[in-house]
Amino acid sequence: MPTLFVWLLGVILGVIVITFIYDISQSKNAILRNYPVVGHFRYLFSTMGEFFRQYLFAMDREEMPFNRAEREWVNRAASDKDNTIAFGSTKSLNTPGTAIFINCPFPTLDADAVKTKAIIIGEHFNDQPYTAKSIFNISGMSFGAISKPAVLALSNGARMAGCWMNTGEGGLSSYHLEGGADLVFQIGTAKYGVRNEDGSLSRKKLIKIAQYKQVKMFEIKVAQGAKPGKGGILPGIKVTKKIAEIRGIPEGEDSISPNRHIEASNASELLDMINLVRDITKKPVGFKTVIGHIKWLDALLEEVDKRGEASAPDFITVDGGDGGTGAAPMALMDSVGLPLKESLPLVVNKLMQHGLEDRIKVIASGKMITPADVAWAICAGADFVTSARGFMFAIGCIQSLKCNKNTCPTGITTHNKRLQKGLNTQNKALKVNNYIGNMVKTVETIAHSCGVKEVHGLNHTHVRIVQMNGKSTPMNELYPTCSEGEN
């Protein structure tokens, strides 16, 4: 035993000596040259700081992108545990942008409440319109960005809860189909799963995808919140043989999508592409985008006015410009594109100006994981809400901020088989089901508190937004509702 101790001590001392010599000899790093050996602890503490903060230092409402209070709500909802709190709210109610719902002195009785109704997307304009039963659905996360067990857990949970699951831009995998959920097939700029060798849209492959009964709609991705103006990024370390086959790309190489569709260089061409996909698939087709300026949307809606309602997209997914699950340059994630709280009301008002609010359904996407977020979006005019990170939390995400690596400790965003073992598909599917059920139930509770019988009865008049002076202003005063033809 003493011999082993002496040997280990010798190894440690040897490493220290070698490190010391290397540090004082190198000339690239001033800290290590001036403080050999101990300078390395700076980088260790800096790396570990993001993990220690959430456990030891951050208050319940301090962290970004999601604080402990938000994550804990999701965790309890997914585990179907009691989600009541005591002794007052820890949320600051005078922070600018905070939504405060207007309670009714005579709220809706449970006996008078109406179950949240299904909405038909593409009715009268598609051979196969889609009856969407859930207001809360799973946003686009591709197989590649997330793992096989994660896809299986989400698709099985979505089937159990009766919501849809967006495939993300990585194509349709057998794991999406195996879960049995309703699917929205996303067509990214690289057109993975429906592309010709030259990168153009393959009519033959599109028809094949449309033949799956589970595929209910098609979403053309124009832009996403994590990186507006740049295509998808999947690091080569995550491009396995299976993923390469589905996407039609080389194994082990970075998967970089173009920054826009080659077929759509303006609003009119985007409308042409929407109608082409709809003509081929016979199913509802819409697009997903982040709003910068609103003029291009005006141009698209004016083109719809000329061509007729049948030419309109069946839905628009409005994504916030404040990030998402995908790998992205920090400059784009931090500083490009409007946040959803500003862009969603603008889009809804534009649809109303053109009299298209009934024809084009609105899906709100971006950083909405709690009932207050969802209820606000419905008040702002959204028909549906989708979330990606909320569902990641539901199946075990701990916000380790490693989604762009292949080292996710929970097995959600890694293809490392050892790390995936911790993700029990059956158990996590139940958590997805619970999360959706408790989300809808609590949004209904907010609606009833506002005196509304059914969730879609919520509108601008039911919420106030806190301003810079700490006082709140009704949303209907901030965003006056436009009537048809009004500018």
Q: Which two tokens stand for residue 41?
A: 């602890």
Predicted confidence band at 235 (pLDDT cuts at 50, 70, 90)?
Answer: confident
Q: Determine which of 52-56, 118-122, 168-172 has the lowest per-residue pLDDT on average.
A: 52-56
- Spatial neighbors of 107 by CB under 8 A, at least 6 apart, are 448, 449, 450, 451
Give residue 78's identity as a one-letter amino acid code.
A
Query: Could you tell me the pTM of the whole model?
Result: 0.86
**How far is the first Cα of the chain from the last one, in angstroms, to the nearest whole number?**
85
Predicted confidence band at 249 (pLDDT cuts at 50, 70, 90)?
Answer: confident
Nearest to 141 by CA among 167, 172, 163: 167
Q: Which two tokens stand for residue 49?
A: 């700081």
Percentage of the residues of the chain whose pLDDT score is greater than 90: 48
Whether the Cβ atoms of residue 132 and residue 119 lie closer than 8 Å to each other: yes
Digit-coded pLDDT (tens) for 53-111:
565 555 555 566 667 778 888 888 998 888 877 666 777 788 888 899 999 998 988 88
